[in-house]
Homo-oligomer: A and B are copies of this chain.
């Protein structure tokens, strides 16, 4: 993955030791940790790239960082709302299903119906 990050330009090319191995010092490790942390917080690699740039630019206004973070939060919140609606729908369906030996099943009956649940675009939230 680190090699991939390097390849797409998210990370600068690492320094090499005499044997060709990548050489990571404290500074480089800090960058890698930064990337992992931002990834853990759900930022896309593109957003991580932007955050790295902001991180490296010691004089940028904090407004820019905050804006990026809030855009991401809004995105996560939208996805969470969609997810919540889906869960609600599914729970209702499951609730009405006997779940025993009988073959009639309101879950499948409902899935036949072509209506949409909530939002349209993102299928897998």
Contacts and interface: CB of A to CB of B under 8 A. Distances in A.
Interface stretch (A4-12, A16-24, A50-58): A50-58
Counting every copy of the chain, the complex holds: 2
Contacts of A115: 37
Taking residues whose C-beta sits less than 8 angstroms from the other chain, chain A's interface range is 35 or more
A49 interface: no
A33 interface: yes
B73 A42 contact: no
Interface string A112-125: 11111100000111
A36 interface: yes
Contact of A40 (B63, B73, B123): B123
Given A66-B99, A97-B69, A100-B61, A83 B51 contact: no
